[in-house]
């Protein structure tokens, strides 16, 4: 199944590694470092025009991709679970 992340972007649910709440996880220095590194390396795709609420870590064809979206992690996880 596919999960809509925003701005017309959809990903296969089998490619999703993690759905993370941006506010609660960004308190950790490790998460902030991770997000900084993936941004610098060009692995981040912003799929939102609004304030970001979550990020989704995927592996697509052996390549890591981090999507940043304004859709809450709870809503995304609920959608993903609904179609399993």
Q: 28-43, pLDDT tens digit by residue?
A: 999 999 999 999 999 9
Q: 81 pLDDT exceeds 90? A: no
Q: Number of structural domains, the chain?
A: 1
Distances (CA, A) of 75 to 1, 3, 16, 37, 62: 16, 11, 15, 26, 26
Domain with 23 in it? 2-82
- pTM for the model stands at 0.93
pLDDT score for 83:
67
Percentage with pLDDT > 70 across the chain = 98
List phi, psi (to 5°) of 69: -140, 160
Maximum distance among all Cα pairs of the chain, rounded to whole angstroms: 34
């Amino acid at each position: 199944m596919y999960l809509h992340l925003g701005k017309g972007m959809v990903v296969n649910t089998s490619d999703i590694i993690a759905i993370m709440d941006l506010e609660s996880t960004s308190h950790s220095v490790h998460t902030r470092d991770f997000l900084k590194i993936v941004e610098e390396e060009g692995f981040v795709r912003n799929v939102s025009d609004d304030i970001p609420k979550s990020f989704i870590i995927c592996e697509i064809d052996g390549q890591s991709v981090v999507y940043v979206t304004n859709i809450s992690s709870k809503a995304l996880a609920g959608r993903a679970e609904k179609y399993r």
